[in-house]
Structure formats: C-alpha cells, structure tokens
Amino acid sequence: MVDEFQVRAFEGGVGFDVQVAPRASRTAALGIHAGALKIALAAPPVDGEANAALVEFFAKALGVPKRDVRIVRGATSKRKHVEVLGVTAADVLSACT
C-alpha cells in the first residue's frame, strides 16, 4: 500500500495534512505516514507548545514568517491540517520529505 501525501494548492499558498509525534528527542520530519507528513516535535502537547513548535518548524523549513503558517484543523489532535502562504507544493515536498 502506498501512502498518498497530497499538497493542495490554493490562491496564495498550500495546505496539507500533518501527523505529529510530540515529546520526541528532537524536532524533525519523519516522512509520509497514512497520507500525512509525519513530524516529530521535541515540545510537549501542553499549553499549545507543540503547535507553536510545529509552526516554527514549517516557517524555518520553508523560509516564511511564522504568521504565514496556520493550523486550520486539528489544533488539539495529533492529526492536523496546515496551510502555508507564499510557497508551492514543490517547496513543501523538497523541504520536508
């Protein structure tokens, strides 16, 4: 079975699904898992720390300001939908996979 990861383009940016693993030893992209980009986060899932770490990870990896990275669905879940402004699907795929 092939895990199908889709980056959906919209006017001004892209959206994609993310599966997070908080409290990891380090923050890093781990590849594709169940159709989502799996990200290990060193931050704990307490008081929004893991979400802030996820936003910071994508901002740094994609070279955009943190204000251009939004968690639009799944803020309290391990499975999230993220939108990033000012990048293309190719940017996400090359920086994070």
Complete DSSP assignment for 16-80: EEEEEE-S-SS-EEEEEETTEEEEE-SS-SSTTHHHHHHHHHHHHHHT--GGGEEEEE-TTSSEE
Above 50 in pLDDT, residue 1? no
User: For the chain, what is the radius of gyration of the CA atoms?
Assistant: 12
- Please report whether residue 21 resides in a domain: yes
* 35-65 per-position pLDDT tens digit: 999 999 999 999 999 999 999 999 999 999 9
Average pLDDT rounded to a whole number, residues 12-36: 96
pLDDT for the residue numbered 96: 86
- Please report whether residue 47 resides in a domain: yes
Total count of domains within the chain: 1
| H-helix or E-strand spanning residue 82 | strand 79-85
Domain that holds residue 60: 7-96
- Please report whether residue 23 resides in a domain: yes
Residue 35 maps to which CATH number? 3.30.1200.10
Nearest-10 crossing angle of helices 49-62, 89-96: 110
For the full predicted model, state whether its pTM sits above 0.85. Answer: yes
- Please report whether residue 35 resides in a domain: yes
| Cα–Cα distance measured from residue 51 to residue 67, given in angstroms and rounded to the nearest whole number | 13
- Please report whether residue 67 resides in a domain: yes
- Please report whether residue 68 resides in a domain: yes
| Cα–Cα distance measured from residue 69 to residue 58, given in angstroms and rounded to the nearest whole number | 7
Instruction: Name 28's bridge partners.
Output: 40
- Please report whether residue 2 resides in a domain: no
* 57-96 per-position pLDDT tens digit: 999 999 999 999 999 999 999 999 999 999 999 999 999 8
- Please report whether residue 1 resides in a domain: no
Amino acid making up residue 8? R
